[in-house]
C-alpha cells in the first residue's frame, strides 16, 4: 500500500498531521493506498512557498510562460495513457472515458498557450488633451483550486493552465478520494519548466479547505463540487475578502419533443445518463418526454440499457464502471426504493446487474412516471439512475426546468428549428444542447451553470477564467506638451 504525499516546492512532502484517507480501486473494492490529509499548519507552510514562488513567476515574460504551457501540452499528450490509467484505477470510469477526460483537459492547456494574446490590455489615446489611458491585467497572487472526485484530471485542468499562465501560483487541493492524477499533473508541469513552488498539491479534507478559505495570502478560490459545499466555499471565501467562483451540483434535464429522431434521442439519453456511471455534473438525470413520445422513448431506452456492459474500467469491453465508494453506491441504490415507494415505475432495476468480486458496482436503472415532488426528481442522485417525467406540452416541460433549483446543463431533442430557437432563449440554464446531450463547452468558451449550480459571477476556463485569475488596472497618463520639454529631440519641435 502506497501513501500519496503532498507536492510542495517542486517535491514530494510527507504529511505531518497523522491523518490519512483511504484510496480504493472501485472496481475491486480493495484499498490500494492512502493519502495524507493536511493540517492547517501544513496549509500555511505550502502557502508561504507559493507566495515566494509567485513573486518571481509574475515577472517571467509571457513568451516564456507560453513555452512552459506548450511543453505541458506535449507532456500530457505523451503521458495521456498514464494519466488515464491513474484515473481509472482510483475513480473507476472506463479507460476510454478517462482518455476523453484527459483530452478535454488538454483543450484548456491549448487555450492557455495563447496567453500573450489573452492578456492584452486596452488603450485609448487622447481621452483629454495630452492624456492617454491604458489598462493591464495583473495576477491575483496565490490561488486555491479545490476539485471534486468525478473528473480528477479535467477539472484541475479547467483551472491550472489559465491560473498559471496569468502569473499566479496555485495550491491545488484535489479530492482525497482520487488524488493520483493531480500529483501526476504537478510532476508534468514541473518537468515542463514551471519553477518549483508555482504549482503545489496539498491533499486534505475540510480541515485543509477551511484553512485555505480564511488564509490571508490566498487571493482567489476556484471550487468545483457539490452545491452545499460550493455555497459554504462561496460564503466563507468572500466573507474573508477573496474572489470566489464555486461551481455546484446539477440535475440536468433532456427534453424530447414528439418530432425528435427517436434513435438519436435514446442513444443520447443512454450515453449521457450512464456514462461514467452517472457521476458527471453534466449527466442527464431527467428525460422529459413530451406528448406521445413517452412510451416509444422509454422502450427505446430500455432496449439499450439491457445491452449495456457493466464491468471494470480496465476491461475494454466495459461501457460503465463502478461508483466511487461502497457508501455512495448504497446511497444511489436507496433511491430505487424511494422512487418505487413514491409511485414511480421501475422499468430497469440496476440492482439486478451483478459483477463478480467486491467492486462498487450498480447497474443502470430507469424509472418512468416520475413526478416533480419525488425525492428521485428533487435530489442530485449522482449515479446511474435515469428518471423519465411525462409532460403534455413543450411549455410544461420548459416550466418545470425553469422551476428547478439547479441550472447547470439542459438538452432539447427536436427537428423543429422554431422550437429549438425558442428553447435556447427561454430556458434558464447555463449550458444548452440542441440535439446534443448536455454539452461541455469547448475551451474557447467558458463553463458554468445558473442558480444553485454556480455561486459567484464568473464561469470556469476560457476568457472568463483569464478574467477571474487577473485584476484589471487602468493607467491614465498626461504627457507634457512637447513644446515645453527641455529634452533635445534631435529634430525641430512641432509648432
Ligand atoms: P464534494 O463537494 O463532496 O467535494 C468537492 C471538494 O470539496 C473536495 O475536494 C472535498 O475534499 C471538499 N469538501 C468536501 N466536503 C467539504 C466540506 N464540508 N468543507 C470543505 N470542503 C469540503 O463533491 P464530490 O463528491 O467530490 O463531487 C461530486 C459533486 O461535484 C457533485 O455534486 C457534482 O455535481 C459536482 N460537480 C460539479 C461540476 C460543475 O461543473 N458544476 C463539475 C464536477 C462535479
Pocket test for ligand 1, best of 225, 251, 429 (most atoms within 8 A of CB): 225
**What are the pLDDT digits (tens) for 132-155?**
999 999 999 999 999 999 999 999
Pocket test for ligand 1, best of 19, 212, 222, 229 (most atoms within 8 A of CB): 229
367 in a structural domain: yes
Q: Do 172 and 277 share a domain, yes or no? A: no
Residues sharing a CB contact under 8 Å with residue 360, sequence separation 6 or more, in sequence order = 24, 26, 27, 29, 92, 322, 323, 324, 325, 326, 328, 329
Q: Is residue 185 part of a domain?
A: yes
pLDDT, position 409: 98
Q: Is the pLDDT of residue 207 over 90?
A: yes
448 CB contacts (<8 Å, ≥6 apart)? Answer: 245, 247, 430, 431, 454, 458, 459, 460, 464
What is the DSSP pairing of strand 365-368 with strand 345-348?
Answer: antiparallel
pLDDT score at 493: 65
Angle (CA) 326 373 230, round 5°: 55
Residue 448 resides in a domain: no
pLDDT, tens digit, for every residue of 257-276?
999 999 999 999 999 999 99
The answer to whether residues 244 and 263 belong to one domain is no
Q: Which atom of ligand 1 is nearest to the CA of 204?
A: 11
Q: What confidence tens digit (pLDDT) does each residue in 238-247 have?
A: 999 999 999 9
Q: Both 171 and 307 in a single domain?
A: no
Closest CA to 407 of 383, 389, 384, 380: 380
User: What is the rounded average pLDDT of the residues 157-180?
Assistant: 98
Asked whether residue 465 falls in the same domain as residue 379, the answer is no
| Residue 488 in domain | no
pLDDT on residue 495? 57
Atom 6 of ligand 1, residue of closest alpha carbon: 148
- DSSP label of 223: E
Residue 294 lies in a domain: yes
pLDDT at 174 over 70: yes
| Rounded distance between C-alpha atoms, residue 473 and residue 475, angstroms | 7
387 catalytic per annotation: no
CATH number, domain of 215, equals 3.40.605.10
Alpha-carbon distance of 185 to 91, in angstroms, equals: 16
Q: How far is the CA of 229 from the centre of ligand 1 (A)?
A: 6
Instruction: For 203, list phi and psi in degrees, rounded to 5.
Output: -85, 155
Instruction: Give the C-alpha distances (Å, rounded to integers) separating 454 from 272, 322, 349, 487.
Output: 21, 27, 32, 56
**What are 259's three cell numbers?**
418530432
The verdict on 231 and 308 lying in the same domain is no
The residue nearest atom 23 of ligand 1, judged by CA position, is 225
Position 487 scores a pLDDT of 75
Q: At how many degrees (to 10) do helices 262-274 and 294-307 cross? A: 50
Q: 178 C-alpha to center of ligand 1: Å? A: 12
Rounded (10°) CA dihedral 277, 283, 289, 293: -60
Check residue 188 and give its pLDDT.
98
| 149 Cα to the center of ligand 1, angstroms | 7
CA angle 228, 232, 235 (to 5 degrees): 135
Of ligand 1's listed atoms, the one at least distance from the Cα of 227 is: 32
Q: What residue's CA is closest to ligand 1, atom 22?
A: 206
- DSSP track, 330-364: HHHHHHHHHHHHTT-EEEE-GGG---SSS------
Q: How many CB atoms lie within 10 A of CB 41?
A: 11
Query: Does 494 map to a domain?
Result: no
**All cell numbers assigned to 47:** 502557502
- Residue for cell digits 422513448? 297
* C-alpha cell belonging to residue 12: 514530494
CA nearest ligand 1 atom 36, residue:
225
For residue 492, give the DSSP letter.
P
Consecutive H or E run containing 256: strand 252-256
So what's the pLDDT on residue 492?
72
Alpha carbons 487 and 12: distance in angstroms, whole number? 57
Residue 234 pLDDT greater than 80, yes or no: yes
Sorted by sequence, the CB contacts under 8 Å of residue 395 that are 6+ apart come out as none
Answer for the pair 384, 299: CB distance below 8 angstroms, yes or no.
no
Ligand 1 atom at minimal distance to the Cα of residue 147: 9
* In a domain? residue 323: yes
Ligand 1 atom 17: residue of nearest CA: 206
Around ligand 1, the residues with Cβ closer than 6 Å are: 146-151, 155, 173, 175-176, 205-206, 209-210, 224-226, 229, 232, 247-250, 281, 380, 382, 408, 449, 453
Substitution candidate for ligand 1 out of 23, 101, 173, 226 with most atoms within 8 A of CB: 226
Mean pLDDT of 8-12: 98
Domain end among 434, 467, 488: 434
In this structure, are 279 and 403 located in the same domain? Answer: yes
Same domain, 316 and 404: yes
For residues 172 and 244, state if they share a domain. Answer: yes
Is residue 229 domain-shared with residue 284, that is, in the same domain? no
- Checking if the pLDDT of 486 tops 90, the result is no
326 close to 22: Cβ distance less than 8 angstroms: no
Domain count, the chain: 2
388: CATH: 3.40.309.10
Please indicate, yes or no, whether residues 178 and 202 belong to a single structural domain of this protein: yes
Give the residue numbers spanning the domain of 74.
2-248+453-476
Number of H helices, E strands in the chain: 16, 23
Residue 386 has pLDDT above 70, yes or no: yes
- The per-residue pLDDT of the chain, averaged, comes to 97
Tell me whether residue 439 is in a domain: no
Same domain, 188 and 297: no
Residues 216 and 136 in one domain: yes
Instruction: Tell the residue nearest (CA) to atom 13 of ligand 1.
Output: 206
CA–centroid distance, 273 to ligand 1, in Å, is 19
Amino acid at each position: 500500500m502506497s501513501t500519496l504525499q503532498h507536492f510542495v516546492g517542486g517535491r514530494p512532502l510527507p504529511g505531518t498531521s497523522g491523518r490519512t484517507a483511504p484510496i480504493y480501486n472501485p472496481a475491486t473494492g480493495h484499498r490500494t493506498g492512502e493519502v495524507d490529509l493536511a493540517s492547517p499548519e501544513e496549509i500555511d507552510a505550502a502557502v508561504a512557498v507559493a507566495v515566494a514562488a509567485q513573486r518571481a513567476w509574475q515577472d517571467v515574460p509571457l513568451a516564456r510562460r507560453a513555452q512552459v504551457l506548450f511543453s505541458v501540452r506535449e507532456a500530457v499528450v505523451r503521458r495521456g495513457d498514464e494519466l488515464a490509467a491513474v484515473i481509472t484505477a482510483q475513480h473507476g470510469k472506463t479507460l476510454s472515458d478517462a482518455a476523453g477526460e484527459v483530452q478535454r483537459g488538454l483543450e484548456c492547456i491549448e487555450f492557455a498557450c495563447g496567453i500573450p494574446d489573452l492578456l492584452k490590455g486596452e488603450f485609448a489615446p487622447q481621452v483629454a488633451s495630452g492624456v492617454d489611458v491604458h489598462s493591464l491585467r495583473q495576477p491575483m497572487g496565490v490561488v486555491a483550486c479545490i476539485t471534486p472526485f468525478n473528473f480528477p484530471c479535467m477539472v484541475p485542468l479547467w483551472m491550472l493552465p489559465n491560473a498559471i499562465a496569468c502569473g499566479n501560483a496555485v495550491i491545488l487541493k484535489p479530492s482525497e478520494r482520487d488524488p493520483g492524477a493531480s500529483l501526476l499533473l504537478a510532476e508534468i508541469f514541473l518537468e515542463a519548466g514551471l519553477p518549483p513552488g508555482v504549482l503545489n498539491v496539498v491533499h486534505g479534507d475540510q480541515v485543509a479547505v477551511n484553512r485555505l478559505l480564511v488564509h490571508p495570502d490566498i487571493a482567489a478560490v476556484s471550487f468545483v463540487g457539490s452545491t452545499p459545499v460550493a455555497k459554504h466555499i462561496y460564503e466563507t471565501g468572500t466573507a474573508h475578502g477573496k474572489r470566489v467562483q464555486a461551481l455546484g451540483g446539477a440535475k440536468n434535464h433532456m427534453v424530447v419533443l414528439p418530432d425528435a429522431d427517436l434513435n438519436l434521442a435514446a442513444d443520447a439519453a443512454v450515453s449521457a445518463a450512464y456514462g461514467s456511471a452517472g457521476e458527471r455534473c453534466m449527466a442527464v438525470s431527467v428525460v422529459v418526454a413530451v406528448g406521445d413520445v413517452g412510451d416509444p422513448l422509454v422502450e427505446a431506452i430500455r432496449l439499450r440499457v439491457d445491452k449495456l456492459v457493466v464491468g471494470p474500467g480496465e476491461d475494454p469491453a466495459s461501457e460503465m464502471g463502478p461508483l466511487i465508494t461502497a457508501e455512495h453506491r448504497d446511497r444511489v441504490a436507496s433511491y430505487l426504493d424511494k422512487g418505487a415507494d413514491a409511485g414511480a415505475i421501475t422499468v430497469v432495476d440496476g440492482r439486478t446487474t451483478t459483477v463478480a468480486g467486491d467492486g462498487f458496482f450498480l447497474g443502470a436503472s430507469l424509472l418512468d412516471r416520475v413526478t416533480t415532488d419525488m425525492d428521485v426528481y428533487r435530489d442530485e442522485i449522482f449515479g446511474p439512475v435515469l428518471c423519465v417525467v411525462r409532460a403534455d406540452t413543450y411549455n410544461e416541460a420548459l416550466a418545470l426546468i425553469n422551476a428547478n433549483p439547479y441550472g447547470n446543463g439542459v438538452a432539447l431533442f427536436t427537428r423543429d428549428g422554431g422550437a429549438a430557437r425558442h428553447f435556447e432563449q427561454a430556458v434558464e440554464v447555463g449550458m444548452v444542447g440542441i440535439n446534443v446531450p448536455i454539452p461541455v463547452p469547448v475551451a474557447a468558451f467558458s463553463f458554468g451553470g445558473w442558480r444553485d449550480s454556480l455561486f459567484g459571477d464568473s464561469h470556469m476556463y476560457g476568457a472568463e477564467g483569464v478574467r477571474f485569475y487577473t485584476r484589471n488596472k487602468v493607467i491614465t497618463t498626461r504627457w507634457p506638451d512637447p513644446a515645453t520639454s527641455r529634452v533635445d529631440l534631435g529634430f525641430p519641435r512641432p509648432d
